[in-house]
Structure 1
Amino acid sequence: MAVVAPPSLVDRIRERYMDDDDEAGGDVMIQSFLSSSPKKLSGERARLQLVVLNHKSIHSIGDVPQFANLVRGVHEVDLAWNKISNWKEVSTMLKHLPQLRIFNLSHNNLESDLGDVEIPHCPHLDTLILNGTNLSLDCIRKVARQMPVLHELHLSQNNFDPDYFDSESAGPSGEGKENGAISDSVSLIHLNRCRISRWSDALKMLSLFPKRETVFLCENPIREIRDKKQESEPPYSSIRMINLSKTGISDWTSIDHIEHWPRLVDLRINNIPLLDEYTEEEKLHLVVGRLDKLELLNGSSITKEQRECSERFFIRYYEEKEERPKKYDALLAKHGQLEKLVKVDLSPKSHVTVRVKCEETAFDQEMDLKVTKTVGQLMRQIEEPVGVAYDRMRLFYFQTYNEEDETNDCSELRYPKQLLHNLHVDDGAMFLVTSKIIPSRKRAQTKSTSSNSESN
């Protein structure tokens, strides 16, 4: 039984992007960005610019000349979740992708060491995505050095060698100095879910990217931020944006340390243990009040008015606390001693005192009324004291009532399920009870007989 060869990259490209009638050297149709499936553009022919082939069990390129002809205009290649392991295949791909700007090899079982494979020069490659590949830092360095304009590097879901972090020589004075930074051009680095638990380890990683400005460290078990004084410029000094959402940060001292980062203007700290016990208002004001230079918090802009509001909230929040952060004195010097805010209860009343009157039974009394009741429940409540049966009762509501004013506005309450609080009932309102006029059966029959006699 013949062994079926695994599908190659060329096979998958032709299968997904080419017409049945297209020949190997012919043009192919560009993939539509409006659909997950390829779309043929009627009347137009264009060379392929985007290749997305995830979960296709691709091991190798296949026919290299065909590949070179098919992809010479491609700008973006996404081959995540395949079975590419040999760096020679990757090297050949890059050699024949002269226009490549974005390259995704996430979750391929790539060899950790390049060996004697040389990565070709990639003059236009801007974004490299290597999530879940568990490559060594030395391997990443050798690859990145062939990409002079690399701006964005994704290294999430990688378990980096703990020996690197534990080594005293790690960082700029050790591996970084001997072998150089991983990239001198990367400014945006993703290190989410890399099991980094110590802030010192995060700093060692960041030190390998001298131009880092935007850093993602989400879902790492970092519990605290502690910055030691360093003779050289610390790695966090150039960071403008950092995302620490879903980390284990649990103390305000960590946020206080962030205040000393000279260029930080954008902070993301959603879903961290520190803020679990606070209201949304407290989360906002207690963070903004600490960080003078912050312009964005969790994606929302901080206006001048918002900052002043947060700083004043910060002062009032801590003025009666025994332990106050260092920032408290600085803000107190800025805004001075603030008067305590008067707490005004704007919640709706639950009980009101109203007047209930029925001229037919000479009933006229003030009663305590729970405004969460319905009209029907009120009628049941007053049925016995007023002396009018529920099924014969008509109920009128006066929001204000003046005995001498014959034009008092009133409304009849006809719907038993209507809630009283929807009427905005307040103290002093009045309910007037009358009886329904129900004709007796005998009187109705007499009237009917009389009408019949007259007609005869």
Structure 2
Amino acid sequence: MWDCWSSCGEEAGGGSRSFTEALREKYSSDNYPYCCPAVSAPWPVPDSPHREWLIVPPILGLSGCGVAWAGQQVGIKEFCNHVTELDISHNILNDWHEVSSIVRHIPQLDFLNLSGNPFGQSPITSVNFPQMLRRLVLNNTDADWTTVRTLLHSLPRLEELFLCFNNYKEVPLHPTLAYSSSSASSSSTSSSSSSSNPTHSQSTLDSFHSWQSSVPSGSQSGGTQSLDTKHSKHTDGAGLEFQCTAALEHAGAQSVNISDPNTSSPVHSDLLQNEHLVSDVSVQDPNTAICSFVNIKLLHITYNHLAAWDEICHLGLLFPCLERLVLANNPLQGISGYKEKLAKTFPRLQYLNLQNTALGEWSDIERLTALPALTDLRLLGIPLLKAHSATERRKLSIARLPCVRSLNGSWIFPEEREDAERFFLRHYMDTDPALLPPRYFELLAHYGQLQQLADIDLRPQEHAEVSVRCDDKVSSCFVRLNQTVTELRRELRTVCTLPSGALRLFHVVREDNMIWHPEEMRVGTRQLHSFGIRDGDEILVQRKGK
């Protein structure tokens, strides 16, 4: 059997190999002579005259091994049956069928990393992935949204999805939905009912809103369900497939009854909110399906090209049960839309990462207060905060976000929140009332009118005006307190006309017409501030030997 696998690798050439070849080369028992069975599991080669053994751990890593295809299926099934995590990133896999041939024989697979494989626009019709898969990493694969949807439909338990470095500029809800950017050209050929009625899209979305408000927030479903008022069907998958088959009349859309065909109970999901979230959406086909994948709890979509907030709202519609969303390093320009609609788009979002985005207005941050479950927020590296000091950034942000309990990874304690809110009130105290943020009036009602704090400078004094007494001669001069005694002697030799080595210096404290016992300044390397010299003190200079 191993001979058959080796011949496949030789025919491919160019350093590429099958998954089974890479598995044998890396996890051969020859490479692990002292392997502990409690850590990794040995598996004999079936039907092999040599009875080779592989030490295959449950967390299997074959990153950068030149894997291009699956290889013999029986080998994968025998050796990887116990594997729970598989990393085959940065290989040369470009066919989804080959990936499916690998992972379908790993029934306990919980984590799959496919990052860095050149899938590009590789066609995908159907895949056979293990049903236990909960975490999928597709970073830097250029997988388009059609591919992502197909994968999600085959993964009913998927909870964490990573889509970084995929050059996404938009998040299409459905291929047959027309967006405002392309609606101008398509509106001329659309039906007369939609073109003559400007409230057509709004009425359709309002009907979804009226349904959503009647659905309990806690109900959800774990599969893909095609919801239709006439033709309900159930298929295995990872989302809720909503089919709107109610006839769209000239005056608008009729209400749509959406429920779970198995239980006849309403299914929770957040669909299109209104025209403020999805601009000029027109449903061209009454049987159009809008997919919503309710099992996804975590989405990493960093280092893409998402600049419009409408596209971020589409993520909320596709994944209505998101709890953690990482949008760092996207050129996001602002956060728009009404707070009520924002709350319905992300009803369960607890963690939001907006680091290194292009947010430039405090109003963008204030709109985040509409998210009902948000408690953890990351805002480092946005242009809005660059004009403020580190202390001001944190305090001004905390004061605007009353429900956030953790900011930039640091817990917000009640004492810090109160201090930040009081700082916020004083910061805007002298601002034009027409320009005051709404949060100012909320805090003003809570704390009342505050007074400005006294400006106390606790920095160490750098200079002091002292009297220099040498014999009967007294002169006033400024001395630097960060210099040493030796440096002061050099400065005073011009005043006393004596060499610096012949001078003895004494620090005399004068306070309330009283003279304290003089302290001789003996150590030449000691700095003056350590003597506690203040304005009005006296430096007594004597010649050595007196």
Give the shorter-chain TM-score range.
0.7 to 0.9
Q: 2:530 aligns with which of 413, 417, 422?
A: 422
Show the 5 A alignment for 1:195-274: 195-228=305-338, 234-274=344-384
* TM-score normalised according to structure 1 size: 0.82
- Check if 1:131 corresponds to 2:139: yes
Q: Is the 8 A contact 2:508 2:519 kept in 1?
A: yes
Corresponding letter in the other structure for 1:83: I
- Check if 1:63 corresponds to 2:78: no
Note the alpha carbon deviations across 1:122-150, whole angstroms, 9 max, x for none.
Answer: 23211100111222323212212222221
Change (3 A) 1:184 1:386: same
Choose 295-304 or 223-232, whichever is displaced more: 223-232
Q: Is the 8 A contact 1:113 1:136 kept in 2?
A: no
SS at match of 1:128: strand
Show the 5 A alignment for 1:283-294: 283-294=393-404
Choose 339-348 or 429-438, whichever is displaced more: 429-438
Consecutive unaligned residues of structure 2, counting only runs of 5 or more, are: 1-9, 42-53, 180-269, 273-282
* TM-score normalised according to structure 2 size: 0.69
Write the distance in 1 (CA, Å) between the matches of 2:409 and 2:169.
33
Q: How many residues align?
A: 415
- Check if 1:435 corresponds to 2:443: no
Q: CA deviation at 1:293?
A: 0.9
Q: Is the 8 A contact 1:137 1:182 kept in 2?
A: no
SS at match of 2:318: coil
Residue in 1 that maps onto 2:163: 155
Q: CA deviation at 1:100?
A: 0.7
Corresponding letter in the other structure for 1:351: H
Q: Is the 8 A contact 1:28 1:46 kept in 2?
A: no
Residue in 1 that maps onto 2:497: 387
Q: CA deviation at 1:229?
A: 6.8
Q: CA deviation at 1:189?
A: 0.5
Note the alpha carbon deviations across 1:209-267, whole angstroms, 9 max, x for none.
Answer: 12111100111111110024777963223211110100000011111211222111111
- Check if 1:13 corresponds to 2:23: yes
Change (3 A) 1:71 1:410: same
Write the distance in 1 (CA, Å) between the matches of 2:480 and 2:370.
56
Show the 5 A alignment for 1:40-439: 47-110=56-119, 112=121, 114-120=123-129, 122-160=130-168, 162=170, 164=172, 168-169=177-178, 172=271, 178-181=288-291, 183-228=293-338, 234-322=344-432, 323-358=435-470, 361-399=471-509, 408=517, 410-415=519-524, 417-437=525-545
Q: Is the 8 A contact 1:220 1:247 kept in 2?
A: yes
Q: Is the 8 A contact 1:141 1:182 kept in 2?
A: no
Q: Is the 8 A contact 2:84 2:110 kept in 1?
A: yes
Structure ID, larger Rg: 1
Change (3 A) 1:411 1:320: same
SS at match of 1:164: coil
Q: CA deviation at 1:190?
A: 0.7
Write the distance in 2 (CA, Å) between the matches of 1:275 and 1:168.
37
Consecutive unaligned residues of structure 1, counting only runs of 5 or more, are: 32-44, 439-456
Write the distance in 2 (CA, Å) between the matches of 1:230 and 1:12.
53
Write the distance in 2 (CA, Å) between the matches of 1:164 and 1:403.
83
Choose 92-101 or 225-234, whichever is displaced more: 225-234
Change (3 A) 1:21 1:366: closer
Write the distance in 2 (CA, Å) between the matches of 1:433 and 1:413.
12
Write the distance in 1 (CA, Å) between the matches of 2:527 and 2:152.
69
In proportion to residue count, which structure has more strand?
2
